[in-house]
Structure 1
């Protein structure tokens, strides 16, 4: 190679190092039962329920099963690959929640601090109470806190989880735009009334988007720059970002254009388009192995490859139930026998839920069908990736049934 060629040669794209692998039986996982799991997902693909998926099961620090099934994109014949790229939507939330807790560990603020301390527009918020078909605006009984944002007791909502008068205001706003900044988005949320008093109810919401803005205010960096510096680069999650480059156009996992169950059109964002808004609640794209590295760090108590990201006791706090008995919970997203921590749902009862698991297990998922859980009791995690929004709840339960059936 000439000096001129050396000078113009582009550096190789960073690669995500794989986690170590082992035979399932050496990890206390039944190969026969994992094969049955694989066969079950192949049946779903053959039925046309989902185009394709990746499934990973890891235990005792090693991957016991990692498989790509079906098609990456229903419009092409390209098979799903282990390094296919997915919109992980709300699986962004645990990453951003870890980022917030890192700033708390750095001493920048407290969980009990008011959100208005960082975003002054929240100081003037009111609660919208429906009365005779109209909204009465009433003052806050107490300030919304950072802890409220993390556990979704802020009173903020999502426009797609219901059709209350407050949610109708959300629907009429520009909140879904990817062309507004995180600062503009936060100010817009602050200009709208809350669904309830802070601390009164669990409402899945845009709260984690507001956490993303707090990260920007406190760190002085964009959310993507902070996440890359403090989480993604240390974990070597080389392919997790708010968009991906044109060189990866052939690796994008896509959904059916029409949902196979309800016949509705499926529209997901373009992963090649760089958004203005870096949504802390749902904007990241990632690969199965990238997210597996995040999961292994969580399972290890905050450390991976000797690199500690977050303290063990801080992570224990995050993976504990933070919902008081008087907090109203009425959502299909919160299964029976579960509570919610600081960025994750947490299993609080061995029974009650219609699927197996362990006490202390914590998890979350994405609206397009991605899903993960961490099971400290079994020293195990699982990552599942697909782009099938309409099938996500069925597949989450199916996956739990199949994986736990394989645990020896």
Structure 2
């Protein structure tokens, strides 16, 4: 097993991160490192400390989607306009960088498959598209103020007025598809996304500390969030802040709060081929690269040459020492990462509470991956 404490302690001692929880599980064996503090009040980090998961929500949302597909409540290739009439006839920019008024008709309906593969046309791009500022200003994309995001019906109304960056299925854009997917799942399941996920996924897996807000009785385990300001760590969200109450909009792209052990439970389910919760075919779909070479090129730094399955990245080549072909998972902008490696039956989770400064992972995440990399055969 990896010597996690020795590898990660320097990042806490140096002040790069106030604290962290890292867990690596292989079969019945597990190693955990619990270091530092939950926040400025000096409360020590705990194995069951709760973190803002950010984009590691996406694999959970994808798994929930596959549960509804198995139930016959969702068709991967049916037009989402039936349940999301706001997207029945979207307009599309003539090119990704065209002016907002320079649009064409949508050549094919948006489907759930497009949402799962981030090819719907909604989201962040690696080019300067005029759509991106609208996603931030009108929809709260990439915002820490989860309380400021409107409820799903209003959110969808605003989205309907924003053109797609590319035709469905022809490009790759990040994040917004999973918020749209969350609304789709809620309407298909007839429940708020938070309740639906708790009932169908989190509850059955025993992910008792995961959800879209932190109730008061658990607030003593909730970490403070920090960001980088003028070269220093600055508090950007307190335990009694943005996640203290259920949000009006539960974000399928990035709204989960969770713990290391909860994420390991999810990862073990995937390694077990669904473990009776999901069908093996659904898990294979999640963990298979669905991108084309053109889409990977458009994705740029978002995928860094790797592929995208349903809800997370898929290693398709060994670009870094920690890459393993078939490894599946994702990184959250709040300094989190969770991956499963089917080749070596490993689940690896590291949770910090410091926002990433950009598309490149923080040094502590790379140190974790390097230490936990599967040994060469």
Q: TM-score, normalised by structure 2?
A: 0.90
* Structure 2 CA distance for aligned equivalents of residues 132 and 194 of structure 1: 11
Structure 1 position 407, deviation (Å): 7.9
Match of 1:249 in 2: 219
1:276-295 equivalences in 2 (<5 Å): 276-295=248-267
Please tell me whether the aligned partners of residues 65 and 74 of structure 2 are also in contact (alpha carbons under 8 angstroms). Answer: no
SS of 2:114's partner is helix
The answer for unaligned runs of 5 or more in structure 1 is 1-28
Match of 1:334 in 2: 303
SS of 2:270's partner is helix
In the alignment, structure 1 residue 366 sits paired with structure 2 residue 311: no
Structure 1 position 273, deviation (Å): 2.4
Q: Deviations over 1:112-151 (max 9, x none)?
A: 1112121011012111246776641111122211111001
In the alignment, structure 1 residue 348 sits paired with structure 2 residue 316: yes
* Structure 2 CA distance for aligned equivalents of residues 64 and 157 of structure 1: 37
Q: Deviations over 1:141-199 (max 9, x none)?
A: 2221111100101110149x775211122233143563521232223222211111111
Please tell me whether the aligned partners of residues 110 and 168 of structure 2 are also in contact (alpha carbons under 8 angstroms). Answer: yes
The verdict on how the C-alpha distance between 1:100 and 1:330 changes in structure 2, with shifts beyond 3 A counting, is closer
SS of 1:173's partner is helix
In the alignment, structure 1 residue 231 sits paired with structure 2 residue 196: no
**Out of 173, 197, 202, which is 2:138 matched to?**
173
The verdict on how the C-alpha distance between 1:271 and 1:175 changes in structure 2, with shifts beyond 3 A counting, is closer
* Structure 1 CA distance for aligned equivalents of residues 366 and 252 of structure 2: 26
* Structure 2 CA distance for aligned equivalents of residues 390 and 346 of structure 1: 21
Match of 1:214 in 2: 184
* Structure 1 CA distance for aligned equivalents of residues 190 and 124 of structure 2: 27
The verdict on how the C-alpha distance between 1:224 and 1:55 changes in structure 2, with shifts beyond 3 A counting, is same
Match of 1:109 in 2: 74
SS of 1:244's partner is coil
* Structure 2 CA distance for aligned equivalents of residues 229 and 363 of structure 1: 23
Please tell me whether the aligned partners of residues 7 and 368 of structure 2 are also in contact (alpha carbons under 8 angstroms). Answer: no
**Out of 47, 64, 72, which is 2:30 matched to?**
64
Answer with 119-128 or 327-336: which moved more.
Answer: 327-336
Higher Rg of the two aligned structures: 1
The verdict on how the C-alpha distance between 1:168 and 1:271 changes in structure 2, with shifts beyond 3 A counting, is closer
1:196-211 equivalences in 2 (<5 Å): 196-211=166-181
* Structure 2 CA distance for aligned equivalents of residues 113 and 210 of structure 1: 15
Aligned residues: 364
The answer for unaligned runs of 5 or more in structure 2 is none
Please tell me whether the aligned partners of residues 48 and 260 of structure 1 are also in contact (alpha carbons under 8 angstroms). Answer: no
Match of 2:9 in 1: 42
Match of 1:319 in 2: 287
The verdict on how the C-alpha distance between 1:174 and 1:403 changes in structure 2, with shifts beyond 3 A counting, is closer
Structure 1 position 345, deviation (Å): 0.8
* Structure 2 CA distance for aligned equivalents of residues 116 and 125 of structure 1: 10
* Structure 2 CA distance for aligned equivalents of residues 260 and 66 of structure 1: 30
* Structure 2 CA distance for aligned equivalents of residues 275 and 59 of structure 1: 35
Please tell me whether the aligned partners of residues 8 and 367 of structure 2 are also in contact (alpha carbons under 8 angstroms). Answer: no
Please tell me whether the aligned partners of residues 51 and 255 of structure 1 are also in contact (alpha carbons under 8 angstroms). Answer: no
Please tell me whether the aligned partners of residues 175 and 188 of structure 1 are also in contact (alpha carbons under 8 angstroms). Answer: no
* Structure 2 CA distance for aligned equivalents of residues 293 and 92 of structure 1: 14
Structure 1 position 105, deviation (Å): 0.9
The verdict on how the C-alpha distance between 1:101 and 1:405 changes in structure 2, with shifts beyond 3 A counting, is closer
Structure 1 position 405, deviation (Å): 6.2
**Out of 35, 40, 49, which is 1:84 matched to?**
49
